[in-house]
Amino acid sequence: MEVTKRSQIREGKAKILYATDRPDEFIIQHFKDDATAFNALKKGTIRGKGAINNAVTSWIYPFLEKHGVPTHFVQKLSDREMLIKKVEIIPIEIVVRNRAAGGIVKRLGIPKGTEFKEPLFEFFYKSDELGDPPIGETHIAYFGWATKAELETLCRLAGEVNRQLKKVFREIGLDLIDFKLEFGREVKTGKILLADEFTPDGCRLWDLKTGEPMDKDRFRQDLGGVEEAYLEVFHRLEKYFSK
């Protein structure tokens, strides 16, 4: 598809969005090497991350589409850029947890690694100023962030993402511990689409053999081998998706 890049719309912590010559339909998402954690209190760079995250999302989103999850992905444009459909972002982060790690260990004292019988869904209000606070369905309804029907769609799609990706990661020797998703309403049609990205920045992956984290926790916790872990996930997925 021939779309021309126009001016920058906004720069986030890990990505930059650019307008296109079809401003109501498409935008360009650029992946940076910048990494932040703890609501940007910790800042750094993960060399090569932008290209890895662009590639990973460019494999995973079309795969999810095939399994009935509509996404904003249109096509990969270059090493660090992809063309996406323009959406109005729903200000809710949905976290799906298969095992306890991170926030739920800290907040509720659930022992790290505890396996949940059913995936656990949590909602957070997307706000940098407030540090993405946890919210419930009552807040979502009361403040009109999503309708009841939309929230049902979000949860159904997030559940499907979990079912499909758990299998993919298991096949490449990784345990999908948890992940965060963001959704939007396509500007042109109002349809709910999976937006943002699916990358080791926004999920936890533990190596099935060693139990080692292979995701942004290596950066958050100063475990070393950050670039190597991202690259390893990239290579395993590359092999899986080139089958």
Question: How many angstroms separate the CA atoms of 163 and 63, rounded?
Answer: 12
Characterize 19-39 residue by residue with b for buried, 16 or more Cβ atoms within 10 angstroms of its Cβ, and e for exposed: bbebeeebbbbbbbbbbbbee
Check residue 110 and report its DSSP letter: P
Return the closest-CA partner of residue 29 out of 76, 93, 92: 76
Q: Which stretch binds ligand C5P (CB under 6 A): 2-10, 94-102, 140-148, 187-195?
A: 94-102
How far is CA 86 from its chain centroid?
17
Interface residue with ligand C5P among 178, 193, 198, 230 (CB under 6 A) is 178
# residues contacting ligand C5P (CB under 6 A): 13
End-to-end CA distance of the chain: 26
Residue closest to ligand C5P, measured at CB: 102
Question: How many angstroms separate the CA atoms of 232 and 226, rounded?
Answer: 10
Question: How many angstroms separate the CA atoms of 19 and 86, rounded?
Answer: 9
Nearer to ligand C5P, 91 or 103 (CB): 103
Interface residue with ligand C5P among 15, 204, 218, 236 (CB under 6 A) is 204
Nearer to ligand C5P, 21 or 208 (CB): 208
Interface residue with ligand C5P among 34, 81, 132, 175 (CB under 6 A) is 132
Nearer to ligand C5P, 191 or 223 (CB): 223
Interface residue with ligand C5P among 86, 180, 218, 236 (CB under 6 A) is 180
Interface residue with ligand C5P among 30, 72, 216, 236 (CB under 6 A) is 216
Question: How many angstroms separate the CA atoms of 47 and 45, rounded?
Answer: 6
Q: Which stretch binds ligand C5P (CB under 6 A): 167-175, 198-206, 224-232, 234-242?
A: 198-206
Question: How many angstroms separate the CA atoms of 135 and 35, rounded?
Answer: 25
Q: Which stretch binds ligand C5P (CB under 6 A): 17-25, 156-164, 172-180, 230-238?
A: 172-180
Length of the chain: 243
15 near ligand C5P, judged by CB under 6 A: no
Interface residue with ligand C5P among 70, 91, 102, 159 (CB under 6 A) is 102
179 near ligand C5P, judged by CB under 6 A: yes
85 near ligand C5P, judged by CB under 6 A: no
What amino acid occupies position 92?
Answer: I
Report phi then psi at 114, rounded to 5: -55, 130
- Interface ranges with ligand C5P (CB under 6 A): 93, 95, 101-103, 132, 178-180, 202-204, 216
